[in-house]
Amino acid sequence: MMVRPMQGGGAYDRHNEYQMRGGLLHADLVATAASKIVPDARRGSVVLADYGCAQGRVSNPLIRIAIDRVRSLHRNIPVQVYQNDLLTNDWAGLFERLRSEDSYVRVGGGPVTPLAAAISFYEPVTPRGIVDLGLSFAAIQWLSAPGPRGCGSVLYFDQLEGEPRAEMADQADADWTCFLDLRADELAPGGAMVLDMMGVSTDGVAAGHQVWRLVRGICEDLVREGRLDAARLADYVLPIYERSVDEARRPFQEAIGDRLQLEHVELKPVPNPFTERYRENCDAAAFAADFTGFFRAFSEQNLREGLGLDDDTIEQLYRVLASRIEATADDFAFDVHALTLVIRRV
Ligand SMILES: C[S@@+](CC[C@H](N)C(=O)[O-])C[C@H]1O[C@@H](n2cnc3c(N)ncnc32)[C@H](O)[C@@H]1O
């Protein structure tokens, strides 16, 4: 079963205030990496790649920073930007954004060509040896396929125990190694990547712990009401894995370490904007609505197809989720930790 994209029709970009905050934390790292680009003289252009770009709102300012920095050192150099996401991505939303006033294509001093690379990043995305700077924000926690089957009502990786939990950790490790291997092929000599994914905090509590526990309870109710097939639920674990710093480092101790060097790794809490607003205005209904909009934008397509839910049941699921979040707003937490890596081709 394929991983499904974010909500379409521009909806993901209307609900990604939180991802926006996480992305902007990386502005300095992106600027520094861009200033180290040495363009290939024969190619005569600079190539950037954005892996898992969705509709492009988060990466747009960061790509603009990178192009600005490159152009301040290499005037008028052409830049090509590979925008990568799944074939089913909202590509129209991405290209609409690229037409906006603040789009990176408007950075002056030479042509900027956006290219759509519509394929899984667990496959080759660009020709070999051409990427001067690879970027990825809030995408690599998505695995190549859902987790282990036959796990009752478990929906999120942190609800797994014992053997299935180890199986999913192995799957996440294999995917991460595959991603790095492919990117090592694609990086130009001297090329680098700034990658950000959801990491698990040092206390080991996943960001999605509470919300996915609530969704699991709602799905168990849907099974009792006959609106969700128990076997379908038992065979679906969302294809997301929040890695620890040690898990992110692990492949560099093996063969990939001969091809890629891990220059920097950090785990940073990203303050939750919905929680911040709730602390100020105490409006639990607004908090639940905003959070559910954010959560739905990245989870709906996967739940719809993974569990075989129809429109009415999907509406019910998110309606009940919002009401349960509202009822427990004071204790509800969803605290993302950005796991950031700077990696250079050896
Ligand atoms: C949470 S969104 C992040 C999007 C954007 N980078 C941002 O920061 O808002 C995750 C993105 O990764 C994409 N994605 C997930 N698995 C992928 C894969 N195997 N190949 C390419 N893109 C993938 C999804 O389609 C989605 O657009």
pLDDT at position 2 = 66
Distance CA 114, CA 302 (A): 28
* Most distant CA pair in the chain, distance: 65
Cβ–Cβ < 8 Å for 205, 198: no
131 within some domain? yes
Residue to mutate, 1, 2, 6, 240, ligand 1, most ligand atoms under 8 Å from C-beta: 6
Predicted confidence band at 1 (pLDDT cuts at 50, 70, 90)? low
pLDDT at position 11 = 76
CA of 154 to the centre of ligand 1 (A): 23
CA of 91 to the centre of ligand 1 (A): 12
The tokens of 111 are what? Answer: 């042509």
- Where are the strands (E) in 138-200, listed by range? 187-199
For ligand 1, atom 20: residue with the closest CA:
120
Cβ–Cβ < 8 Å for 16, 58: yes
For ligand 1, atom 8: residue with the closest CA:
137
CA of 341 to the centre of ligand 1 (A): 17
Share of residues in the chain with pLDDT > 70 (%): 99
Cβ atoms within 10 Å, residue 150 = 10
Q: Is the pLDDT of residue 168 over 60?
A: yes
More confident residue, 205 or 5: 205
**Position in ligand 1 atom list of the atom nearest CA 54:** 27
152 within some domain? yes
**Residues spanned by the domain of 196:** 11-206+238-272+333-345
Distance CA 35, CA 31 (A): 6
Placement of tokens 């709102």 in the chain: 57
Give residue ranges with CB within 6 A of ligand 1: 3, 5-6, 16, 19, 23, 52-54, 58-59, 84-86, 89, 120-122, 137-139, 142, 144, 298
End-to-end CA separation in angstroms for the chain: 35
289 within some domain? no
305 within some domain? no
48 within some domain? yes
Predicted confidence band at 151 (pLDDT cuts at 50, 70, 90)? very high
49 within some domain? yes
DSSP letter for each residue of 1-38: -PPP---TTTHHHHT-HHHHHHHHTTHHHHHHHHHT--
**Position in ligand 1 atom list of the atom nearest CA 144:** 19
Mean pLDDT, all residues of the chain: 96
- Residue in 130, 262, 116, 260 with CA at minimum distance from that of residue 186: 130
**Position in ligand 1 atom list of the atom nearest CA 4:** 25
127 within some domain? yes
Q: What is the DSSP letter of 138?
A: S
CA of 140 to the centre of ligand 1 (A): 7
277 within some domain? no
CA of 214 to the centre of ligand 1 (A): 24
CA of 53 to the centre of ligand 1 (A): 6
Q: Is the pLDDT of residue 3 over 80?
A: no
Predicted confidence band at 87 (pLDDT cuts at 50, 70, 90)? very high
For ligand 1, atom 27: residue with the closest CA:
54
Predicted confidence band at 153 (pLDDT cuts at 50, 70, 90)? very high
- Residue in 274, 276, 267, 299 with CA at minimum distance from that of residue 289: 274
Distance CA 267, CA 200 (A): 8
Q: How many domains does the chain have?
A: 1
Distances (CA, A) of 54 to 238, 297, 319, 339: 18, 11, 25, 19
pLDDT at position 6 = 74
Any idea what the CATH number is for the domain that residue 117 is in? 3.40.50.150
Write down the pTM of the prediction.
Answer: 0.96
Angle at which helix 209-224 crosses helix 284-307, to 10 degrees, equals 60
The tokens of 115 are what? Answer: 């290219």
Per-residue pLDDT of 213-250, as tens digits, reads: 999 999 999 999 999 999 999 999 999 999 999 999 99
Placement of tokens 């190549």 in the chain: 144
